[in-house]
């Protein structure tokens, strides 16, 4: 699309009675380009194992015979399977799911945010948070991290007390920096929010890739009825195309989400695919260790190049320092490798893919740096 076409499109959009807080906004989306090595959206680049694909195909085929009927509105079997996967003595009453973790987070904002309410998060972090806030007319408050992008318990708690948010989003491992928060940060934020009845959401989309010793916020759920831990089947499970996100929390929070969910929001096809996949958890997660090995390889080789990669508990690596990060991004793209320019000066982010993809990225980066 040309610049002139883009301008005409913008003018046409602005002519509509759009809500004021949506004017001038841009939809979320990473570049979707045809390249040899696609390493910009943190997908699991390994294909779905054939045994899992076959099981999903069979389950979807069976579900297709009854598509004239609405699906199970409560997706009970799926919640039971997800609870069993998560463990920690959770039951289906603690679990909720939707079409991707973005819809899960949107439902949290619909239930607990809205006009006159505030959500606090700590950039640089997942760029969908302010967009979800805008879409639900919830005021978004940008918290502050240290210069090295870390967040201490005391500083996080202070900002909660200063801003009195209705919701706090904590991304751990954080996207785009990749590093997990200590559970002491989660505890401090939850305690600081007690006086405001604050809902605390820990977004653990990448938790399965965490370094040894990193603990999940699932361990904190007991006795904290306003704590939510969100997850996804898009990353470690290699099911980004299935669009299945979920969360664990107290039964009263899942009851609140029932008030805002659309009727039958999880299709019979989605439920069938997810249930079939969860029968093969070990097979689906077999690539996690290989991905972690490639991530650690990237970190090691970037350090050898004199660059500064962040500690990563995820399936991607955030790294710098570049005078012109976008020029490096373009140089990689010219060589068929698409990574992510996350808009943070001097830094880029790359997904840890297969061994072959990692090699292609590292070779191309060395060429770009040399040039």
CB atoms within 10 A of CB 18: 12
Provide, for the chain, the percentages of residues in helix, strand and coil under a 3-state DSSP scheme, each rounded to the nearest 5: 45, 15, 40
135 burial type by CB count under 10 A (0-12 exposed, 13-18 middle, 19+ buried):
middle
HSE (CB half, 13 Å, CA atoms) of 268? Answer: 14
Segment 333-351 mean pLDDT: 96
Q: How confident is the model at residue 352 (pLDDT cuts 50, 70, 90)?
A: very high
> Quick check: 252 pLDDT over 90?
yes
**Edge to edge, what strands does the sheet with 308-309 contain?**
308-309, 316-320, 348-351
CB atoms within 10 A of CB 304: 10
Straight-line distance from the first to the last Cα atom of the chain, in angstroms, rounded to the nearest whole number: 31
Question: What's the CA gap between 328 and 209, in Å, rounded?
Answer: 27
Question: What's the CA gap between 9 and 62, in Å, rounded?
Answer: 43
Sorted by where each begins, the domain ranges of the chain are 31-47+286-370, 50-279
- 231: nearest Cα among 95, 133, 122: 95
Alpha carbon 1 to its chain's center: 29
Is CATH 3.40.50.720 correct for 50-279? Answer: no
Q: What is the pLDDT of residue 1?
A: 62
Question: Token match 């009854």: residue?
Answer: 66
Question: What's the CA gap between 236 and 282, in Å, rounded?
Answer: 11
Q: Take residue 122 and report the two structure tokens written for it.
A: 């700590």
Calculate what percentage of the chain has a pLDDT beyond 90: 91
Is CATH 3.40.50.10800 correct for 31-47+286-370? Answer: no
Contacts 24+ apart (CB under 8 A), 212-220: 214/173, 214/180, 214/313, 215/183, 217/172, 217/183, 217/186, 218/86, 218/87, 218/88, 218/90, 218/248, 219/88, 219/183, 220/183, 220/186, 220/187, 220/190
Question: What's the CA gap between 26 and 41, in Å, rounded?
Answer: 18
Beta strands per DSSP E along 50-132 = 95-98, 118-121
CA distances from 30 to 27, 39, 160, 228, 357 (A): 10, 11, 31, 27, 19
pLDDT per residue as tens digits for the range 177-200? 999 999 999 999 999 999 999 999
pLDDT per residue as tens digits for the range 121-163? 999 999 999 999 999 999 999 999 999 999 999 999 999 999 9
Q: Which 8-state DSSP code applies to residue 322?
A: -
Query: DSSP assignment of 68-86, as one string?
Result: TS---TT-HHHHHHHHHHH
Strand, coil or helix: 327: helix
Q: How confident is the model at residue 111 (pLDDT cuts 50, 70, 90)?
A: very high
* Residue count of the chain: 371
Q: Take residue 230 and report the two structure tokens written for it.
A: 């969100």
Q: Give the predicted TM-score (pTM) of the model.
A: 0.94
Q: Which helix (H) or strand (E) holds 49?
A: none
Lowest mean pLDDT among 28-42, 174-188, 194-208, 223-237: 28-42
Segment 268-288 mean pLDDT: 97
Q: How confident is the model at residue 11 (pLDDT cuts 50, 70, 90)?
A: confident
Q: Supply angle C-alpha 101, 102, 107, rounded to 5.
A: 95
- 183: nearest Cα among 217, 158, 221, 218: 217
> Quick check: 14 pLDDT over 90?
no
Alpha carbon 191 to its chain's center: 24
> Quick check: 342 pLDDT over 90?
yes
Q: How confident is the model at residue 7 (pLDDT cuts 50, 70, 90)?
A: confident
Bridge partners of 230?
203, 247
Question: What's the CA gap between 236 and 249, in Å, rounded?
Answer: 21
Question: What's the CA gap between 87 and 221, in Å, rounded?
Answer: 12
């Amino acid at each position: 699309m040309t610049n002139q076409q883009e301008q005409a499109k913008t003018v046409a959009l602005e002519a509509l009675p759009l809500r004021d807080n949506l004017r001038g906004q841009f939809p979320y989306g990473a570049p979707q380009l045809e390249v040899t090595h696609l390493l910009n959206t943190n997908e699991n680049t390994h294909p779905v194992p054939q045994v899992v694909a076959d099981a999903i195909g069979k389950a979807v085929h069976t579900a297709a015979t009854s598509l004239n009927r609405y699906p199970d509105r409560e997706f009970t079997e799926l919640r039971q399977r997800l609870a069993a996967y998560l463990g920690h003595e959770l039951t289906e009453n603690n679990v909720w799911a939707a079409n991707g973790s973005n819809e899960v987070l949107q439902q949290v904002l619909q239930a607990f945010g809205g006009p006159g309410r505030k959500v606090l998060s700590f950039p640089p972090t997942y760029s969908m948070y302010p967009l979800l806030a805008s879409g639900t007319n919830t005021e978004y408050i940008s918290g502050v991290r240290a210069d090295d992008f870390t967040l201490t318990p005391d500083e996080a708690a202070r900002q909660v007390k200063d801003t009195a948010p209705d919701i706090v989003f904590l991304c751990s491992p954080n996207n785009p920096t990749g590093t997990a928060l200590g559970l002491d940060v989660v505890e401090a934020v939850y305690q600081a929010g007690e006086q405001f009845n604050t809902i605390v959401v820990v977004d653990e989309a990448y938790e399965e890739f965490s370094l040894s010793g990193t603990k999940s916020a699932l361990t904190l759920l007991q006795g904290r009825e306003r704590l939510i831990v969100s997850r996804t089947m898009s990353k470690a499970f290699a099911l980004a195309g299935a669009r299945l996100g979920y969360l664990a929390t107290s039964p009263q929070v899942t009851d609140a989400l029932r008030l805002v969910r659309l009727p039958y929001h999880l299709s019979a096809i989605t439920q069938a695919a997810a249930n079939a996949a969860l029968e093969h958890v070990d097979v689906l997660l077999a690539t996690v260790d290989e991905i972690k090995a490639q991530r650690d390889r990237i970190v090691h080789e970037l350090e050898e190049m004199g660059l500064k990669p962040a500690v990563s508990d995820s399936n991607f690596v955030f790294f710098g320092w570049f005078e012109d990060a976008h020029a490096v991004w373009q140089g990689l793209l010219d060589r068929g490798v698409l990574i992510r320019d996350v808009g943070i000066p001097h830094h880029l982010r790359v997904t840890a893919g297969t061994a072959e993809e990692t090699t292609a990225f590292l070779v191309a980066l060395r060429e770009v740096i040399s040039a």
